[in-house]
Amino acid sequence: MKIGFIGLGIMGKPMAGHLKEAGHEIIVPERKSLGADERGAFTVVPDSKSVAAAAEVIILMVPDTPDVEAVLFGAEGVAAGLSKGKLVIDMSSISPTATKGFAERINALGCDYLDAPVSGGEVGAKQASLTIMVGGPEAAFERARPLFDKMGKNVTLVGPNGAGQTTKVANQIIVALTIEAVGEALVFASKAGADPAKVRQALMGGLATSRILELHGERMIKRTFNPGFRIVLHQKDLNLALQSAKELGVALPNTASTQQLFSASVAAGNGGLDHSGLVKALETLAAHPVVADPKS
């Protein structure tokens, strides 16, 4: 197939690469940031409109709701290059409410729309083991399923447009609060004089075990905070959670407190760290690091 892919970031580039390896032609818009390897592997066209005109399926993987809107409906955007029967798949993590509106506008052009945000981070993108949560019509989902299977392992059609984004928001609540809990536990253990590495090892054998304790707990101990998934993006996702909760009249007290820790992290200049770097905000509050940073 001819697949347009817009957003070759930390996760988008390996995702597009898996589709290329599966034999599909990948069409991308011109960007100054494109390296020689990307220009060699992908077909480069002037803009998003040209991507949509040349491709059968157009995939977006960009940071936030305004970015998706600009790519879709801005000057020389995807919508301007669409013709009937094409499929637009937004794999970004954005507002469920906005997603429903975007889908309606794309449907009005005679095209299908799927919201298909992912979980699994850079590792999942590189290993093609992402969890993909999809909202949209079943026929469009079945059409896209072979592509999803090249990028992920747990692929679920959750419901109509917006349901995929709602699921991703729920995922981000769980991930954020678990990172915060692991951070609190390791700060507590370290302050009490226990070896945090051995505490983590012991906890991995009990009910407290989780992928976050395994992966991000190790990051907190080894001080490897290169992203991954950046704090500033998780901050954005919790903003979506709290905004959606306000619209629904739902209280999310622990989400709100964790969002404050993300905001403190950004204010301290740590927004570019992996979201496991949230532990630094907890360390500041305790005046005690889990483990001293190597540079200190």
| Catalytic (active-site) positions | 168
The DSSP string of 182-204 is HHHHHHHHHHTT--HHHHHHHHT
Residue 118 CA to residue 90 CA, distance in Å, equals: 10
Please classify residue 264 by burial: count the beta carbons closer than 10 Å to its beta carbon, then call 0-12 exposed, 13-18 middle and 19+ buried.
middle
What number of other Cβ atoms are within 10 A of residue 187's Cβ? Answer: 20
Residue 22 CA to residue 189 CA, distance in Å, equals: 47
Say if CB 93 and CB 241 are below 8 A apart. Answer: no
Give backbone dihedrals phi and psi of 129, rounded to 5 degrees, phi first.
Answer: -120, 25
Give exposure, 79-94, as e/b (b: 16+ Cβ within 10 Å): bbbbeeebbbbbbbbb
Rg (CA), the chain: 20
Q: Which residues have C-beta within 8 Å of that of residue 92, sequence separation ≥ 6? A: 7, 60, 61, 62, 63, 64, 67, 68, 117
Give backbone dihedrals phi and psi of 133, rounded to 5 degrees, phi first.
Answer: -110, 115
To which H or E segment does residue 12 belong?
Answer: helix 12-21
Residue with tokens 């051995």: 198
